[in-house]
Chains A and B, each alone.
Chain A
Amino acid sequence: MNIVVLMKQTVDTEAKIVLNSDGKIDTNGVTLVINPLDEYAIEEALRIKERLGGEVTIVTLGGDQATAAVRSALAMGADKAVQINDPALGEVDEGMAATILAKAVQTLPHDIVLAGVMDTDNGSAQVAVRMAEKMELPSISSVTKLDIDESLATAKRVIDGGLATLEVTLPAVITVVQGINEVRYPSVAGIMKAKKKPLTVLKLSDLGLDASNLAVQAKVLKFTLPIPRQGGKKLPGEPAEAASLLARLLREEAKVL
């Protein structure tokens, strides 16, 4: 079973986000990690490999700093990695990422392509499924349980208030959600071996692409930080008085009643 995992390096979910003078997210001094949802995809890939044999290949699109995330994925047990790192790329939107990743995955043997349902920073949940479209592969999103039997995948997918069970013929693209598995820690031996595993760095030209032909379709106009949480309000007075004040505030100020 040839398993490809799409992985993205993201800002640590615990990191404090600040905007720089250009209004962009400032990644200086911020811890970068494997997108936590992609970690579930890597874990699922490793489990499939342990069950059925085969090879797990990590594919990532990212600059030099993304190599650390790739090494972490290799330390977890992936066999090899492809990193598309081209300084010619400026801002990349989901459509561009899908185009580039589709080209990269097409160069690899792939029976199944796994990814986290979205990244925890931009959260668009588009890249893997749009890549599937470009590759003319079937895809199932938000999978919480996955069984592979020969060339058939059975997936349980989270739907509103329940689960749907779907079946798809491989090759297919599957995006996974939290809870599909419990992600392992990389072992010390895994960390030691990560450096020695093959990591292929590709430029767009290696994939027959040209940065000038790739255009951003949806432009980010600006980023806004959430309004900092305000302190609570203490309502004075006797219980009955305070309760009626609370009811009024809930209706008029908070508008929840």
Chain B
Amino acid sequence: MMFELSEDHVMMRKMVRDFAENECAAGAEERDEKEEFPSEIWHKLAELGLAGITFPEKYGGVEADYLSYAIAVEELSRVDASVGVTVSAHSSLCANPIYLFGTEEQKQKYLVPLASGEKIGAFGLTEPMAGSDASGTRTTAVKDGNDYIINGSKIFITNAYEADTYVVTAQMDKSKGNKGIAAFILEKGMPGFTFGKKEKKMGIRSSATYELVFDNVRVPGENLLGEEGQGFKIAMITLDFGRIGIASQALGIAQGAYEQAKNYAKERVQFGQPIAQFQANQFKLADMATQIEAARLLVYQSAYLATQHKPVSKASAMAKLHASETAMWVTTQAVQMHGGYGYTREYPVERMMRDAKITEIYEGTSEVQRIVIASHILKE
């Protein structure tokens, strides 16, 4: 077992950290305030290959491993979690299912521009009646000749509106339940495919989140992803990998907030000394550092398993559960340590605490992670 990053991974971390600090940090507060999508940052990070880290070169990616991907999302999120989730949703939730389940033609047509970052991707699974329970999917797909006609809507879709390519699930045969669901690749601009309201969110406010609306959207047969009836399975496997990204995002948020708290505690003077001299704060910082290190090991382990093509479901659920709960706890403590200043938008910990909450909710709530973990450990 090696508990040290390779030279490549050290370089990767330095590169993304420099990029995040130089290109993302200064505008993070304003983008959050204005709910402004980081388009310019996207173009820059795509040029560096960060839009297609894990995908083969022949599909427009750079063929690095999942650990590189985890480090990249972590470092981006350490500074701006909205940028982190934009990359994660694009790579893990849209490009990855096309890579895993797409035909060669689909990969050439859709994966290549996604992995190179020329296009942005999104994933439409969640519906008003299908949150944790994907079997509640009410969006329908009906076969019509060679095509499929899709009707319905999706909510809370990350990267929606900004994205060009969408992987969307729809029910084809309600009597079959989850086995009646199919997945399709949709393009922005297909007739009948529009966007509903933009969500006004607590955190990750510069990440785009919209409703997708399908009104008789005619999707060519060649855009079916996998086979009819495979949609639920595709979605679940997609989420198994996606959780590595969200766990990395949560890890980055926690790391960022911890560093802010530590620096603040060393400078803020109360009762005649820096507040880092008080044991109450020392214990808090020690707990933060320990929880974060544990989360990091879980996240990197799940990334390692993904690279090795080993089962990742349990590990990524554990990583996501622990990292997201760590992010929430660490950011809350970081705000607390900043006192009144931490509650204002003068200091980034306020944003970080709002950003952390979503990591306990999306791509499976903490409760769903526990269901996934329990289902694995009880089978063992």
| Chain A residues at the B interface, C-beta cutoff of 8 Å | 68, 71-72, 75, 185-189, 191-192, 194-195
Contact = CB atoms under 8 A, between A and B. Distances in A.
5 contacts: A188-B49, A188-B68, A194-B8, A194-B11, A195-B8
Contacts of A185: 15, 18-19, 48
Contacts, number: 45
Given A185-B18, A185-B19, A191 B11 contact: yes
B113 to A, nearest CB: 17
Contacts of B7: 68, 71, 195
Given A185-B18, A191-B64, 10 more contacts: A68-B11, A188-B12, A188-B62, A189-B57, A191-B11, A191-B12, A192-B62, A192-B63, A192-B64, A194-B11
Contacts of A75: 11, 15
A167 B64 CA distance: 44
Contacts of A186: 11, 15
A189 B49 contact: yes
Interface of B: 7-8, 10-12, 14-15, 18-19, 47-50, 53, 57, 62-64, 68, 72
Query: Chain A's interface: helix, strand, loop or mixed, by majority?
Result: helix
A72 B15 CA distance: 9
Which of A68, A187, A192 gathers most chain B CB within 10 Å?
A192
Contact of B64 (A68, A71, A72, A188): A188
B48 A187 contact: yes
Contacts of A72: 11, 14
B47 A187 contact: yes
A68 B10 contact: yes
Nearest to B22: A185
Which of A187, A188, A191 gathers most chain B CB within 10 Å?
A188
Nearest to A76: B15
Which of B11, B12, B14, B62 gathers most chain A CB within 10 Å?
B11
A133 B53 CA distance: 46
A6 to B, nearest CB: 21
A193 to B, nearest CB: 9
B11 A187 contact: no
A194 B9 CA distance: 12
Nearest to B52: A188
A71 B15 CA distance: 13
Contacts of B14: 72
A32 to B, nearest CB: 11
A70 B11 CA distance: 11
Which of B8, B19, B57, B64 gathers most chain A CB within 10 Å?
B8
